Amino acid sequence: MTTQPVVSLENITVVRSGTRILEAINWVIEPGQRWVLFGANGSGKTTLMEVVSTYLFPTEGTAEILGHRLGKVDVREIRPRIGFVGPVPSSLVRKHFRSLDIVVTGRHASFVATRWHHYDETDWELARECLRVVHAEGLAEREFGTMSQGEQKRVLIARSLVTRPELVLLDEPGSGLDLGARERLVESLAALAKAPGSPPVVLVTHHVEEIPPGFGHILMLAGGRVVAAGPIDQVLTGHALTETFDLPLQLERRGERWRAWSPADELG
């Protein structure tokens, strides 16, 4: 029995104002996989995420998301099946709401007070479970505005899970976090990756140090083209990293984590 890919992109090209932002991208995400979308700023990561999230149609090529081809389906039918965490949702959250309320309102894709929709005990328990999955259950009663940026992002990731999505997209959740907050976020994402029955996940980052254990695949972009794609143990190398950033870089792995550095740093 064959299993349909969650995402299937074939020869995806995106042109804006005469500039090719993406060039001939091929990418298949299978059920249960956890991918890292990796590249420097300006490499095309955000544009590729726009295609996968159905908010941008490619100039050329075919994109099938959750079994539907863009251009031949009403995308409003697909979007509720995708959990997305990016910079915009956090700006919509009312700071005085407690975390548990923020998570449960994701059931209706709203940011209004819980009194405007009906939630039964099953909804509340699911919201608590989503917080537990990302190790944020201790934040359930905290007001959003009293939490650190890292804690807020963990709550929003829990919110993205409450609709039981078939695909989760995390757009640079580690951006702006200090070292401690980043490590706690990585721990939460590792827990998500290993949770039984959790959906496929795509994590966007440009730091190898932010790659959580349990993320087994990586797609590396540079200049809108694929540098390497596949199992992370095979394709994440110092050579690929150097090509991705157009800068001599070295890479090492310690346990389930990665570290990159420039040889020039050692000369300082």
pLDDT digits (tens, 9 = 90+) for 113-134: 555 567 778 889 999 999 998 8
Please give the pLDDT value at position 88.
56
Please give the pLDDT value at position 15.
95
For residue 137, pLDDT over 60 is answered with yes
Going along the chain from its start, the domains and CATH numbers come out as 7-267 (3.40.50.300)
Please give the pLDDT value at position 170.
93
Q: What is the pLDDT of residues 197-210, one digit of tens each?
A: 889 999 999 999 99
Q: Which residues contact 153 (CB under 8 A, 6 or more apart)?
A: 85, 90, 173, 177, 185
Most confident residue range from 25-29, 72-76, 105-109, 112-116: 25-29
**Banded pLDDT at 1 (limits 50, 70, 90):** very low
* High-pLDDT (> 70) share of the chain, %: 91
Q: Cα–Cα distance between 179 and 196 in angstroms, integer?
A: 28
pTM of the full predicted structure?
0.87
Please give the pLDDT value at position 265.
65
Strand order in the sheet with 201-205: 82-85, 167-171, 201-205, 34-39, 217-222, 225-231
Q: Helices marked H in the chain — which ranges?
A: 45-52, 87-92, 99-104, 121-133, 149-161, 179-194, 232-235, 238-245, 263-267
Q: For residue 145, list its beta bridge partners.
A: none
Least confident of 64-73, 111-120, 157-166: 111-120
Of 227 and 110, more confident = 227
160 backbone φψ class: left, alpha, beta (φ>0; ψ -120 to 50): alpha
Which tokens is 126 given? 């699911």
Least confident of 18-27, 117-126, 180-189: 117-126
**Banded pLDDT at 112 (limits 50, 70, 90):** low
Give mean pLDDT, residues 223-227.
96
Least confident of 19-28, 148-157, 198-207: 148-157
Least confident of 106-120, 139-153, 161-175, 229-243: 106-120
Q: Cα–Cα distance between 115 and 113 in angstroms, integer?
A: 5
Do residues 57 and 82 touch, judged by C-beta distance below 8 A? Answer: no
The per-residue pLDDT of the chain, averaged, comes to: 89
